[in-house]
Structure 1
Amino acid sequence: MKPLTILIAADTYPPHINGAAQFGFRLATGMTTRGHHVHVMACRQDGGPMFSEERDEAVVHRLRSRPVPTHEYFRVCLPWEIKKDIAALFDVIKPDVVHVQSHYMIGEQVVYEARRRGIRIVATNHFMPENLNPFLPFPQWFKDIVGRVSWRDMGKVMSRADVVTTPTPLAAKAMHQHAFLRKVLPLSNGIEAGNYELAEGEVIVPNPYPTVAFVGRLAEEKHIDVLIDAIAKTPTELNLHLVVVGGGEVKQALKALAQKRGLGERVTFTGLVSDAELRETYLKADLFVMPGTAELQSLVTLEAMSASTPVILANAMALPHLVQDGVNGYLFKPNDSDDLARKIITFMSLSPADRAAMGAASRAMVAKHTLANTLDTFEDIYRGGSYEDHAV
């Protein structure tokens, strides 16, 4: 078949560190590998006009952006500053299809421009309104208003797309209820599960103490403070250690909390790590915990599972889809450190054989989330496949 010219519009893209940014990068890489001509529109990470750069995964067009006063590194594009540049890029790129990754600044403008030109539009939602909380240092009632407005805007923008997707059925249900989008296709972000498995003959020396791992942005909605509190509530004779991988706006507060709870020697904050170091973290961990309450899928949980790591996850949003309670891990009551501590203690009381069986169950559950399946589906949608063609 003739290669397509694909334009991916990403309000968050590497060097941003989050699931949506990682998916955008993997999508671009995968489609380029399949022979398509891929372009990405994303924000600049500094001041200055729009520029384009050829990268391995795509031609990336960096749009003029502005810093966010309430966040240390995040930047946003203002519609009136990028509208003309986006139109000019459409003239040059001449995309066959556009794939927006959100309904915010870049995504919204790209949808309007594509619609004006009669170009096929695919829209994927990776966000929950709670993801905006770190940028909104305001009372909860104000955040609730922003959340309702965000859902309304999502419906207004994404209703113009030919096909709308989101990573999980639960996320699709939320979009039905709050954004009033009638047809939303649940489609996993997908991962390269084999990247996190032990290679044949490979030996990873375990840590000299039982280890719990968390990976992700150190952000308010991840509730890592709940995990630190839970570790503090486990018996000291367990000698549990916690490894926290990632960076973000609440890092210093979390470090202070770990010291306050007497865990200074048992909690390690690694910051951002290489892919090889991340893989080793998953493989060395006895247990992976995700206490976040705004996860539309949680790629890091899937990565941990593909490394045959048992999981304990908050019973919130899409996380319950990744746990068979007592089979590959446990669910705990969101924001309840007592319940999380009980589940961790229950897990640590299991025999090594039972823990290994849980890890094997995690790995087996990841099989349906392969990146190849995700790319196959999007490729078909780009060429005209419909919601009905892929709805289960």
Structure 2
Amino acid sequence: MPASTVALRVKPNRHFPFYARHPWVHAHALAAADTEFACGQIVDLTDHDGNWLGQGLANPDSKLRVRLYSFDPDRALDDSLWAERIDAAIDRRRLDSQHRAGDDEAERLVFSESDLLSGLIVDRYADCLSVQFTAAGIWRFRDTIVNHLMQATGCRAIKIQIDQRTARLEGMEPIDTWFNERWAADEGETEDPFARPVQYRQNGLNLSVDLRSGQKTGGYLDQALNHAQAARYLTGRRVLDVCCYHGGFGLVAAVSGAAEVLGIDSSEAALQQAAENVQRNSLSNVTFRQADCFDALKELAGESQQFDAVILDPPRFAGSRHQVASAMRAYARLNALAIDLLPPGGILVTCSCSGRVSVADFHDMLTDVGKRRRRDLILLQTRGAAPDHPVAASCPESEYLKCVIAQVH
């Protein structure tokens, strides 16, 4: 384990983001290092003239070479820092009394940069935690982080994950392990607490999440309030829910009075979980079809189908700035296909989780789609992520989710 601290300089005129406390130091912003440094090495970042900017953790195998955690020269990166940041993140979720999650519900407890813990995401599903490490540097402190999470939350089990994509980008090995109430998976405990889906409640529904095979930390908690808000426009309507995953928008619409819901997703496992959620909540007005989102919309148009509302919640189309142009074309195509299935007065709920795509970009895309399809789009609401996904002013990339509710004429 690296113990010493190494100093790294940024190139001339590349220091301004760190005055604003931005936590990411990309490799191309750094001057050539005088010494080698290891993954997890504590770094004192300086400007080109040697003036101290902040302290972080290095990863020589990642394009995101340093993640900064302290901008106070008197605040070192030690075990107490991680504990304080975790406690502050949990307390932050208790500030909003209206949206405070109950013990049997789900919430995001730690949201990486937004909670000043770059590379750490923690979701709570009832009495279980799902933890995703997205940075190799902070992995060095995993024991401290896991132990404090167990103490601070009192949860019975913690699932730890490093997914394939993160492992590739960060030069790590994928990780899929767990800790139970005895704190360690290798201390004689034989039953995996996540061998079966974890039960929880959300928006009045009884749901479950498979923390073994689910996306990211298991589900998509950022859309929880958008599910409920969209459902208010869908009473009595025939609804198409595209990229429905575990049911999300469609299930809340169904229980809130939608006449009929058809869910589309390309994942057989996701649809199986969605079907179980339908059965668990005794819903009779929801069906599913396994298909690619683009293919499904074209097939439904070919069948002369029409819906009173279409929901689009696709995966991220732009993972980097180089993919933004192609992502915008994909969003335009998807939304155009959806609009073709809507009569005048129909409701379009359309989302983007691509952080590189701004709200203005997304609105411009919808304007262009309306022009090309000769339809008027009236934007009723533009929403973001739930309050348990706060945004760090110093890291605008943490404001990633767009959810537009529109009426189409």
TM-score normalised per structure 1? 0.29
Larger helix fraction of residues:
1
| Higher strand proportion | 2
- Higher radius of gyration, 1 or 2: 2
Larger RCO (alpha carbons 8 Å, 6+ apart): 1
The two structures have a TM-score, normalised by structure 2, of 0.28
